[in-house]
């Protein structure tokens, strides 16, 4: 009797596996994710960051330049170069373009 049960379970498992592989699976649905308008091009946050770095360093905004930006739902992280500085500055702005934090990425 145990052999019959083992063979029956083995045959059932084989049939189940064969039937599952032949069933077409639907393609995964692509869900478009639209970034908030402030993050789509992020000029407001990036410019606010340049102004914040210039203000913090007591320098004209012309002495700053945007090195890179990273956006997310939480906002924008911008690396800003300041003329004469050895390292860049890091600026965090919210999705509304308001600067949350500015810090120098070097010593001093």
Give the highest mean pLDDT range of 10-19, 33-42, 78-87.
78-87
Residue 17's SS3 state is helix
pTM value > 0.85: no
Split at pLDDT 50, 70, 90, the class of 22 is low
H or E segment to which residue 101 belongs:
strand 99-104
Domain limits of the chain?
38-104
| Residue (of 24, 20, 73) closest to 45 by Cα position | 73
Q: Which of the pair, 61 or 1, is modelled with greater confidence? A: 61
DSSP per-residue string spanning 37-95? HHHHS-HHHHHHHHHHHHHHTT--GGGEEEEEEEEETTEEEEEEEETT-SS-EEEEE-T
């Amino acid at each position: 009797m145990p052999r019959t049960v083992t063979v029956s379970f083995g045959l059932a498992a084989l049939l189940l596996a064969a039937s599952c592989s032949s069933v077409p699976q639907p393609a995964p649905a692509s869900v478009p994710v639209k970034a908030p308008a402030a993050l789509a091009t992020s000029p407001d946050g990036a410019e606010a960051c340049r102004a914040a770095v210039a203000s913090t360093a007591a320098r004209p905004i012309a002495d700053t330049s945007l090195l890179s930006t990273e956006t997310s739902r939480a906002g924008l992280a911008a690396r800003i170069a300041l003329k004469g500085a050895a390292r860049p500055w890091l600026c965090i702005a919210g999705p509304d373009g308001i600067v949350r934090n500015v810090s120098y990425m070097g010593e001093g």
